[in-house]
Amino acid sequence: MASAEAKVLSTEPLAPDEAKWTKLVKITYADQTGAQRTWESAERTTRPVSCGIDGVGIVAILRYPSSSSSTSATPATTNGTTTSHSGKAKEEPQIVLQKQYRPPIDAICIEVPAGLVDEHETPEQAALRELREETGYVGTLLSCSPSPSSPRSGSSRSSAMTSAATPTMFNDPGFCNTNLQMVHVDVDMSLPENQDPQPQLEDGEFIETFTVNLGDLYRECVRWEKEGYAIDARVGTLAEGIELARSFGLS
């Protein structure tokens, strides 16, 4: 486990030929009146041609067997990563989150597990792989069930709603073309491989994995911000959606 606190030491311009992961581009386009304009944009250099999706965010839900004993497991630490989980039976779903230092904002960020999609890999495959590498948890794809008012199962919309992956989303379209899909994953805590999850991190990765009750996510985000943590937009948006659903009585 690292003993020092991560921090930014210096910031300086980056020459284009030194950039490995991103590039700046100038876009020339015609607006709605026909006027020609330009736009500065950033792009990833790693987007796989096979699927056109840069990365995935993983909504991993821990499912505990109702017969579990009320015992807690000791957090597992591997290469700077701490994974905290409990063997206690849970009635409320728990979501897997991470704390990770992010140099661009010089802060520890609360995030969902995430990663880039490799060439010839689907977003769903990437999600299961990244979850195991970053947290040690072994999961299966979790489809979203359509509501009773949804179109019948034969329609395309119903099929989309029962997919484990969301529609493609764009993180910051005014700045870059980066995109992602959120993938829902079920983690069965009764399986032997999930009793003592061991992350498989690369050199330089320091991640603390933890869980919170899904229903407490918005309140926890408020608390984390007061404590000085940065909140990743994917976590904040998920929390906001849950809170809005609660406020308007949606199910």
> In the prediction, which pLDDT does 153 show?
40
Residue 203 counted as domain residue: yes
Return the CATH number at 111.
3.90.79.10
Residue 62 counted as domain residue: yes
Residue 7 counted as domain residue: no
Residue 196 counted as domain residue: yes
Residue 38 counted as domain residue: no
pLDDT value at 37 more than 60: yes
pLDDT of 96-132, one tens digit each?
Answer: 999 999 999 999 999 999 999 999 999 999 999 999 9
Residue 124 counted as domain residue: yes
State the average pLDDT for the chain: 87
- Sorted by sequence, the CB contacts under 8 Å of residue 3 that are 6+ apart come out as none
Q: Could you tell me the pLDDT band of residue 145, with boundaries at 50, 70 and 90?
A: low
> Rounded distance, CA 27 to CA 216, Å?
42
pLDDT value at 92 more than 50: yes
User: Could you tell me which of 102, 130, 115, 116 has the C-alpha nearest to residue 52?
Assistant: 116
Q: Report the domain count for the chain.
A: 1
Torsion, Cα of 4, 5, 8, 14 (10° steps): 60
Domain span holding position 123: 48-247
pLDDT value at 66 more than 60: yes
Residue 27 counted as domain residue: no
When comparing pLDDT for 234 and 163, which is higher? 234
